Amino acid sequence: MNKKIAVLYYTQSGQLGDIVKNFIQPFEEAGCLIDKIRLDTDKKFSFPWSSASFFDAMPESVQGAPTPLSSFHFKENTYDLIILGYQPWFLSPSIPTTSLLLHPAFAKIAAHTPVITLIGSRNMWLNAQEQVKAKLQNIQASLVGNVAFFDRHLNSISAVTIMYWAFTGKKDRFLNIFPKPGVADDDIEKASVFGQIALTHLQQNTLSALQEQLIQAKAVEVKTNLMFIEGRAKRLFAIWAAIVMRAKNRKRALFFYKYYLIVALFAVAPLVLLIYRMFFAPFLTKQIRNKKNYFLGIK
Ligand SMILES: Cc1cc2nc3c(=O)[nH]c(=O)nc-3n(C[C@H](O)[C@H](O)[C@H](O)COP(=O)(O)O)c2cc1C
């Protein structure tokens, strides 16, 4: 019997679409029955973004507020595997992704079904994945694998290039000086290798061992510096989201958040990180290792 796979994702630039396409290529070649659904929202998130619309997406992303999705339907009643492609927005699942995870049709189809998450991020996806894990658990879906794609350049460099990409829609080299934004083409290409690993485990009924092999294949990596920054930023974003939600003047609150973010990203984070790496990290090696292993896993 051919395996039945549901593939769901939302993408603005098409980057996640390319990742998904390459990942599922081995499934297609093996003759699996693939139901591929590109999600959209009723109220569109513009791409390229304006500065105002970009920061305006922060509070609802962080607080996990859903928005209506354009109608979508599943061809089958049940699937052997669900592949969920998503991107983080403001250290949380993007609003369309949260909306899917809270959607009754998805809850129905995902219950008691294995799910693989495919993340197309800048470089900070740990907290988003924690939220996705919790939401999948709520609907009794069973997370069996996670593959995380990220921009391998320095955090500050990738922050500049992603802003350039988000505000112009161009995935090319800003000023011809900066590297290309987003996930490297080679990494996107490699998604099919991870897809093949997942397919083999699906065919051999060994999905419970999938994540271990994905970790070995470096389909998912956790960087100490980014884990540290994200851990701190997560709490601050939650505070900012609450401030903006309560503010009488949302625009003004978001104006302050925007400048906070710029200072935090380019001035505070590097300094705090330096102090952490020099004075704290050397004494916390075991704790750091345990934390990394936790985020590499799917529990
Ligand atoms: C509003 C917004 C917020 C984002 N926040 C994050 C983030 O917190 N962490 C991260 O790694 N990437 C972040 N990104 C990058 C996205 O996760 C994603 O990699 C990029 O937008 C390309 O996705 P696409 O396939 O939808 O075009 C953000 C992008 C946008 C547009």
Ligand 1 centre and the CA of 166: distance in Å?
Answer: 9
For each successive 10 residues of the chain (299 residues), what is the average pLDDT? 95 98 98 98 97 97 98 98 98 98 98 98 98 98 98 97 98 97 98 98 98 98 97 97 98 97 94 96 97 98
Q: Is 265 in the pocket of ligand 1 (CB under 6 A)?
A: no
Q: What is the DSSP string of 82-97?
A: EEEEE-EETTEE-HHH
Residue from 12, 91, 122, 152 whose mutation best tests the ligand 1 pocket (most atoms within 8 A of CB): 122
What pLDDT sits at residue 119? 99
Residue 77 CA to ligand 1 center (angstroms) comes to 32
Closest CA to 59 of 250, 264, 260: 250
Tokens representing 33 are 């029955």
Atom of ligand 1 nearest to the CA of 162: 15
Contact 67, 59 (CB under 8 A): no
**Would you say the CB of residue 57 lies under 6 angstroms from ligand 1?**
yes
Domain limits of the chain? 4-221, 225-295
Q: Provide CB contacts within 8 A for 232, sequence distance 6+.
A: 272
pLDDT for position 209: 98
pLDDT of residue 229: 96
Q: For the structural domain made of 4-221, what CATH number should be given?
A: 3.40.50.360
**Three-class SS state of 39:** coil
> Hey, how many other C-beta atoms are within 10 angstroms of the C-beta on 54?
19
**Closest of 27, 21, 77, 25 to residue 202, by C-alpha:** 27
- pLDDT score of 201: 98
User: Any idea which residue has 């939600």 for tokens?
Assistant: 245
pLDDT at 76: 98
Question: Which pLDDT belongs to residue 197?
Answer: 98
